[in-house]
Amino acid sequence: MAVASIKGFTLIELLVAIVITAILASIGVPEFRTFLLNTQIKTASEAINNGLQLARGEAVRRNTPVQFNLGAGTGWTVGCEIPIADADGDDVDECPAVIQSRSAGEGSASAIVTTEPAGATTVTFNGLGRVIANDDGTPSITRFNIDMPSSLLDAERSKDMSILTAGGSIRMCDPNNATPGDARAC
């Protein structure tokens, strides 16, 4: 009479598999966390860049000054410098105070945004899409720096981003890239 062989794992095989899985997880989890935090920096940078592009496009489309206002964290608002109410009776403002806004918590709540000059919160575009002086006399933002707090991500592993608003052009760049001729460098 033949004895049927029993198929399955032995206790030793199971323990070896658990140990290998634990080792791989201990290596991969910190790198995955770094990836997620750097993704938040990229998300915040792209959100601010999109807001600036929207403000510039609306200024050209409406042929009137439109402002990008940086709010708390990575939040922003785009609206007309001088709101123009409904003039033609269609219940739609010709140039509203708020065209579009984004809250700080949308995908990048941990990112820190600093501006140059320090404390500046507004960029105003004219009808030609060029950066002009703000109507209240405050300086216009020339650079946004987006980073993570060092308590979450050390500087060596952080993929910081900057956004430059020179003249009428808006471009994202890597402030840590010093390679001559590289378009990603600031």
Q: Which domains are seen in the chain, by residue range?
A: 11-173 (3.55.40.10)
CB 48 within 8 A of CB 146: yes
pLDDT of residue 56: 94
DSSP-derived secondary structure letter, 138: P
**pTM reported for the whole predicted model:** 0.78
3-state secondary structure of 32: helix
User: What are the φ/ψ torsions at residue 83 (nearest 5 degrees)?
Assistant: -60, 140
Q: 57: how many CB neighbours lie within 10 A of its CB?
A: 14
Residues 80-99 have pLDDT tens digits of 888 776 665 554 557 787 88
pLDDT of residue 86: 61
Walk across the sheet containing 143-147 and list its strands.
112-116, 143-147, 161-164, 171-173
CB 78 within 8 A of CB 60: no
Q: What is the token pair recorded at 59?
A: 């200024």
> Which residue stretches of the chain have pLDDT < 70?
1-6, 85-93, 107
CA 168 from chain centre, in angstroms, equals 20
Residue the block writes with tokens 């890597």? 174
